[in-house]
Amino acid sequence: FGRIARRVAGAGIGLGMRVRVYDPYVKHNGFPSSVTRETELAALLAAADVVSVHVPLSDETRRMFDADAFAAMKPGSVFINTARGGLVDQDALLGALEEGRLFGAGLDVTEPEPLPPEHPLLHRPDVIVTPHVASGTQEGKRRIFRTTIAQVIHVLNGERPPHLVNPEVWDTVATRVAADGGA
């Protein structure tokens, strides 16, 4: 239940929504009392009117929104993905839309990015596709710069960085940094 998901949840609560969250990696006490924690993704999908995805892409999460996930979603719900295109089986999403299972979809990310002009998702009235450009703003660039510098400082101090993308290499990097004497 990371920074972006918390911001989206806060906005939803502010709009009077009942917010449900599925995050298998956060301990129970990591959720605000105004949020319902679901322990199974299928339970969240079956109950939610809007599913907003804020998940990193990994081997474990690639195509996590497949035909089974869309079939589990509440009929008439909306699917929003602002995380990574690889999280979604776009053919399965298209199928769910064509069947009328979903009311619509909002995609800020696709795979590939951008979609080819003839891609069917671009021509559906129930789909909004926006360019993935949040990091292109001045504020976004400053945040990326600050986060990058903080990550490098953690590594140079021999500390595991908080936003480690490839944790499987940390032991190797930490050993190398320690051997070089750190910062």
- Spatial strand order in the sheet of 77-81: 50-53, 77-81, 102-107, 127-129
Asked about 123 being catalytic, the answer comes back as: no
Note if 132 is an active site residue. yes
Three-state secondary-structure class, residue 19: strand
Cβ of 108: how many Cβ atoms within 10 Å? 19
Residue closest to 52 by CA, chosen among 90, 33, 78:
78
Q: Which of 98, 99, 113, 159 is catalytic?
A: 113
For the question of residue 60 being annotated catalytic, the response is: no
Closest listed residue to residue 48, CA positions, set 38, 63, 58, 61: 38
Nearest-angstrom CA–CA distance, 173 and 183: 13
DSSP annotation string for 76-137: TEEEEE-S-GGGB-HHHHHHHHHTT-EEEEEES--SSSSPPTT-GGGG-TTEEE----GGGS
Active site residues: 84, 113, 132
